[in-house]
Chain A
Amino acid sequence: MRNPIDSESYAAAIASAAMGPGGMSRREMVQRLGGGLGAIGLLPFLNADAAAPASVGAHPVPRAKRVIQLFMNGGPFQADFFDPKPALNRCQGQRPKEVDLRTERATAGLMAVPFSYQQYGESGVPVSELLPKVAGCIDDICVLRSLYTDNPNHGPALYMMNNGTITPKRPSMGAWFLYGLGSENANLPGYVVLCPGRPVRFSELWNSSFLPAEFQGTYINHSNLDPRKMIPFLRNSSLDTLTQRRQLDMLRSLNREHLASRPEDMLLDARIKSLESAFGMQFEASDAFDLNRETKKVREEYGASQFGNGCLLARRLAERGVRFTQVYYGNFQPWDTHSNHDSSVRTLAADIDQPIAALLTDLKRTGMLDDTLVIWGGEFGRTPVSENGNGRDHNHYGFTMFMAGGGVRGGMTYGETDDFGFRAAVNKVHIHDLHATILHLLGIDHEKLTYRYAGRDFRLTDVHGRVIKEIVSGYKSV
């Protein structure tokens, strides 16, 4: 139920706006949407085209055009990587009352972190020995140490991180991004979810819920790197390109005959165009998803792991204008280390270090890091206290994420956890604040990106959200 504009003309406008040279420009589309704009926050569309973006409406200046999220599903432990807590080693085995917090399972005393830290880069931000290569990029990274969320359970926490609510019935943030900004490439889906398997809660994490279905994420299992296996119905199994082109030309002639006696029907026209786009997508997507088109050197930089492949695919998609790419680390929830935490984390960290560093370096080399926001983290953190002797339980009270590029200040940390790294203590950042900040970087005021559904205006940030302006480049403290 879309209030501001008629749904059919909207669908047609979206379809034809995505047409490229033959269709409408974004500006035209915005004009066509007319009065609907105020309510639906498509203003950044204008910003992207306008000569003086800052003057448009009340939306912030866009810094990032696209987002890549590296999702450590299961939840990494903050003090293993970017938030050194020497008190854990000093007080090992103790259970001071500050850490006597209820989490999902029964926990015991504090468990030491066996990984050493060093300061890196010009900024001197500390990074643990687990991520030596990522540490080399630290001057481009903003470490957020004071995240917290609402529920210590995977499902609800995954919903919160992705959909801004702990129940499974709201649009995902990627759907909101597309709703607000549209797609930059008609021949590719605008929101892609890569996972070499299935993360917990699966499609609910990238659903469009009450937003139009076209805004939902396109899930791609990249454990098989053949592009034809990744996108449903991508290529024809029997017709070659020329034959299919000839077939489509004939279909287009028939469709135009049909249209000739039915003028003024945008939907008919939109569908004719979308068939042409689909034809293009076969090649564009086959190219975008084909890692064999990268040089051996680049493949080696990213490494041969599935996560490395995901990072490289994300870079290829970002280059082609995909608005939002999520790379889930792995099937189910590999970071959920309830037992044997330290040894598992060593393996996991070794697996992500090189690909993340390669992605950041690669984006920086081509200048894309300026307008590509990279986000790293899980759905929550883990406890400083032990579980099962050598594991760590879920922790929603405090955890770390990082952002890089896309208008974020590098070489800084924001916020603090308590002495044991359990609870966010200073400059706390709720997931709603994270979402508000991401939207801000994309040039969207999170309070103005709304959608009327069931009699009420919905937002990704519900009635919450604080933009963390301190981490936006150019920020000057007052």
Chain B
Amino acid sequence: MSATVFMNGTVVLPIGWIGIALMTFPWPLLAEEAAPLVTVDSDGLHFFETKIRPILAQRCYECHSASAKKSQGGLQVDTKASFLAGGDSGPAIVPGKPQESLLIAAIDYDGDIQMPPDGKLPAAEIALLTTWVQRAALLPDDTATAAVKKKIDYATAGTFWSFQPVRTIEPPTVVAWEWVQRPVDAFVLASLEQQNLKPALPADRRTLLRRVSFDLIGLPPTPEEIEQFEQDSCSDAYPKLVERLLSSPHYGERWGRHWLDLARYSDKPAPWDTTKAQAWLYRDWVVEAFNADMHYDEFVRHQLATDLMPDSTSSNRAALGFIGMSPVYWKELQLDKEVIKATVADEWEERVDAVSRTFLGLSVACARCHDHKFDPISAEDYYAIAGVLANTRLIDLPMIPGPEGTLAMQAVQQAAKLKAEIQAIEELKPPPADRDQKIAEIKKQIATTEQTPHYSSPLAFGVDDAALEVLADGPNRTKLEYTPGKAQDLNVHIRGNPSNVGPVVPRRFLTVLSSGTSVPFQVGSGRLELAESILTAGAPLSARVIVNRVWKQHFGRGLVETASDFGTQGSAPTHPDLLTDLTHRFIQNGWSIKWLHREIMLSATYQQSSESNPSHYAADPDNRFYWRMTRRRLDVEAWRDAMLFVCGLLDPRLGGPPAPLSDAGNNRRTLYGSIDRYEVDDMLRLNDFPDAFTHSPNREPTTTAIQQLVVLNSPFLERLSAALAGRISAPSTAKASPGAASTGSVPEAKACVSDKIRRAYLLLFGREPSEREMQIGETFLSGGQTDQPPLPELWQQYAQALLGSNEFLFID
């Protein structure tokens, strides 16, 4: 851009430049150049039509015209009105002044904007355009002088399916009505019948139990539980089972982890972050919220604004971790404030993205630089929401309420500062004479500080309300200044550039969800009002989105496949009425997630077998119509936990600080393994654990060779297969309950080979081995010698293969 040129004063004005360019011209052009500059309009227009429009048409229209798929940079150069109005960066031309015209700077490749992007124009064309601007840039009048900027038509956009209020929908009539067990079944069956498809038979009890168990608690059933369930002939055996698992404390561990994917959970902050906060307090809060069936609206409200809720208790403080542990980016304060502003704006964008996609299933962050290309979200809407997060400061939050907590937090920060002082002194070269004395003195201060009451009470990742300003701090520094108690609206950043600001936008909710007018938020940052808006005006979306997420976990595919995009670019719902009706009843039932589980799991749809059917498979290979249950692969957490469980090693303790999964004897659930978004554990990384820098709506299942090295060679599998080999050698009456020791009370002297194989199959797969499977096992274990008992190492190899088998990894 010419601005940078002038700032440094290194380039002469383009007048001289034109002279240079002219020297390369073919003669006829020079002749034209020599003609009088100002002639009658018709000559000027003729010049435009014959010389200029062809260049624009050939070089520019593809991206900058009404017919372009999207007009890049907001600029169109095919009508007079749009040309003069310019684009997002301002007017493209200043008639008579090529040196002040962005267009000329751009085609000269003389600044940030270089056009056309695929290579500089020939010098002759640059000279022609320059001449044309110099000659007052005459343009023919347009017949159409419509407004250049397309305005979002909220009335039309508001009719999009996901924005519609939820309501009761009468279940459709179906032929095979006897199949229907819950309202959702009628919707599913109606669409199956429409497609001439039939639901599969119900799954057998063993399969169903295994499915329900992994779905709700992320662990397999024990052989004893299987036996009991198979023999329970009561009509309410299945509902009772669902109820038992829903009230297990392991339920929250399973479903809490699904939530943590959305919340980009990480135990470790950025390496340079000096926070003393501990993320596991948030993780445990989420687990407990699921276990207590905290209603989803409460769950959302606490995470966004528990500190602003009048009736909130201190037990919910850790909920603020959702925003509190947002990724922070490095801000080099020696850089110019404009650079730091850009980094800060990037952080806001990530938070807007996480909040809007998690709670609303809308990608509001797309509107940071311009109105959303597809959804009815304007740049103003983006800055209205970003303003809320811009007035929200990430802080270390004491778990002890009141002044005592604040004192304890200050003590922790003080101690950290003092420790840094010691380090600074130790690094001094040469060491000061009174080095040891100074250090001893500081150590004494640290000891005193550590005596502060509640000093060791952990700090959570939290937030409070404070306005942030990025200010110059002397000639070569920038500072971030927070003002608690103050809240300020953001200006629109034109094209996302914080140094180029447009009008101020009050903090408020999204226009399209506010039926015309959205009222500016009044209280502090506006987080609580944002939460309330999400749950009231935004309820059609926020409730549908969570219902769909739960559905997706149960079936392996969502009614809306794009779980965090319910906008026009997301996939359309396969069963819109089902989703609307189920969501309506979900709200009527107090936003209870456990109610939702029951409603889904007690359905005939959920209880189908996963067995395939060639004609149905040909018609609907992706099972979009639910003509069977979809076979699913366990995620890495359930896979690792299940291995520990069947080997009798799982440590079932709940909650608390994390520990690395790679620790030799770590037998706790995978949920409690430390997550470092900067360096993910090998086993997790290789098995599709999501990137914890951003909101992650689904796990992308991959099947790679390097992943299977975990099965073949990892010390974890080696250790577990040894434990499993030991366990099946001593079957007896050992209960395979979580945390039980690996041996039974009365070890049998010598269980025969087939008994042990049978025991292994019961523990791992909950069934008897087939004849063929028995034979494969016996042949392997004989090691080629039929008359000898198998060597212990063969049992271990066998155990490892069973743990690594497809049957253990996939759920029918």
In the complex, are the beta carbons of A246 and B704 less than 8 A apart? no
The residues of B that contact A265 with a CB separation of less than 8 Å are 612, 631
Chain A 62-94 interface 0/1 with B at a Cβ cutoff of 8 Å (1 = within): 000000000000000000000000000000000
Which of B563, B685, B776 is A250 in contact with, Cβ under 8 Å?
Answer: B776
Residue of B nearest to A271 (CB): B703
Complex formed: what's the CA distance from A251 to B802 in Å?
Answer: 7
In the complex, are the beta carbons of A277 and B705 less than 8 A apart? yes
Complex formed: what's the CA distance from A70 to B294 in Å?
Answer: 53
Interface centre among B336, B374, B621, B702 (most CB of A within 10 A): B702
Interface size on A, residues (CB 8 A): 94
In the complex, are the beta carbons of B678 and A7 less than 8 A apart? no
Complex formed: what's the CA distance from A254 to B776 in Å?
Answer: 8
In the complex, are the beta carbons of A454 and B704 less than 8 A apart? no
In the complex, are the beta carbons of B693 and A204 less than 8 A apart? yes
Chain B 749-781 interface 0/1 with A at a Cβ cutoff of 8 Å (1 = within): 000000000000000000000101100110110
In the complex, are the beta carbons of B703 and A12 less than 8 A apart? yes
Segment touching B, from A133-141, A211-219, A357-365: A211-219
Q: Is B809 an interface residue (CB 8 A)?
A: yes
In the complex, are the beta carbons of A255 and B117 less than 8 A apart? no
Complex formed: what's the CA distance from A272 to B801 in Å?
Answer: 12
In the complex, are the beta carbons of A168 and B366 less than 8 A apart? no
Q: Is A253 an interface residue (CB 8 A)?
A: yes
In the complex, are the beta carbons of B329 and A167 less than 8 A apart? yes
Q: Is A377 an interface residue (CB 8 A)?
A: no
Chain A 258-270 interface 0/1 with B at a Cβ cutoff of 8 Å (1 = within): 1100111101101
Which of A204, A238, A280 is B705 in contact with, Cβ under 8 Å?
Answer: A280
Residue of A nearest to B797 (CB): A247
- Which A181-225 residues have C-beta < 8 A from chain B? 186-187, 189, 202-204, 207-210, 212-214, 216, 218
Segment touching A, from B74-82, B509-517, B707-715: B707-715
The residues of B that contact A210 with a CB separation of less than 8 Å are 691, 694
Q: Is B363 an interface residue (CB 8 A)?
A: yes
Residue of A nearest to B798 (CB): A250
Shortest distance in angstroms between A386's beta carbon and chain B's nearest beta carbon? 16
The residues of A that contact B622 with a CB separation of less than 8 Å are 6, 8-9
In the complex, are the beta carbons of B569 and A208 less than 8 A apart? no
Interface centre among A189, A271, A280 (most CB of B within 10 A): A271
Q: Is B392 an interface residue (CB 8 A)?
A: no
Given A1-B697, A267-B633, A454-B565, residue A209 in contact with residue B691 (CB < 8 A): yes
The residues of A that contact B700 with a CB separation of less than 8 Å are 2, 7, 11, 212-213
In the complex, are the beta carbons of A203 and B678 less than 8 A apart? yes
The residues of B that contact A14 with a CB separation of less than 8 Å are 702-703
Which of B561, B631, B709, B779 is A231 in contact with, Cβ under 8 Å?
Answer: B709
Given A274-B703, A278-B709, A278-B711, residue A251 in contact with residue B569 (CB < 8 A): no
Q: Is A465 an interface residue (CB 8 A)?
A: yes
In the complex, are the beta carbons of A278 and B806 less than 8 A apart? no
In the complex, are the beta carbons of A464 and B330 less than 8 A apart? no
Which of B114, B118, B701, B770 is A257 in contact with, Cβ under 8 Å?
Answer: B770
In the complex, are the beta carbons of B708 and A278 less than 8 A apart? yes
In the complex, are the beta carbons of B119 and A466 less than 8 A apart? yes
Shortest distance in angstroms between B715's beta carbon and chain A's nearest beta carbon? 7
In the complex, are the beta carbons of A264 and B612 less than 8 A apart? yes
In the complex, are the beta carbons of A156 and B330 less than 8 A apart? yes
Q: Is B334 an interface residue (CB 8 A)?
A: yes
Shortest distance in angstroms between A301's beta carbon and chain B's nearest beta carbon? 31
- Which A398-442 residues have C-beta < 8 A from chain B? 418, 428
The residues of A that contact B343 with a CB separation of less than 8 Å are 156, 166-167
The residues of B that contact A454 with a CB separation of less than 8 Å are 353, 357, 363, 365-366, 564-565
Residue of A nearest to B332 (CB): A153
Residue of B nearest to A18 (CB): B705
Residue of A nearest to B688 (CB): A213
Complex formed: what's the CA distance from A274 to B72 in Å?
Answer: 44
Complex formed: what's the CA distance from A168 to B347 in Å?
Answer: 10
Complex formed: what's the CA distance from A61 to B801 in Å?
Answer: 46
Segment touching B, from A33-41, A43-51, A96-104, A112-120: A96-104
In the complex, are the beta carbons of B701 and A218 less than 8 A apart? no
Interface centre among B373, B563, B564, B712 (most CB of A within 10 A): B712
- Which B523-578 residues have C-beta < 8 A from chain A? 561-565, 567, 569-571
Complex formed: what's the CA distance from A2 to B770 in Å?
Answer: 39
In the complex, are the beta carbons of A253 and B693 less than 8 A apart? no
In the complex, are the beta carbons of A268 and B72 less than 8 A apart? no
Q: Is B160 an interface residue (CB 8 A)?
A: no
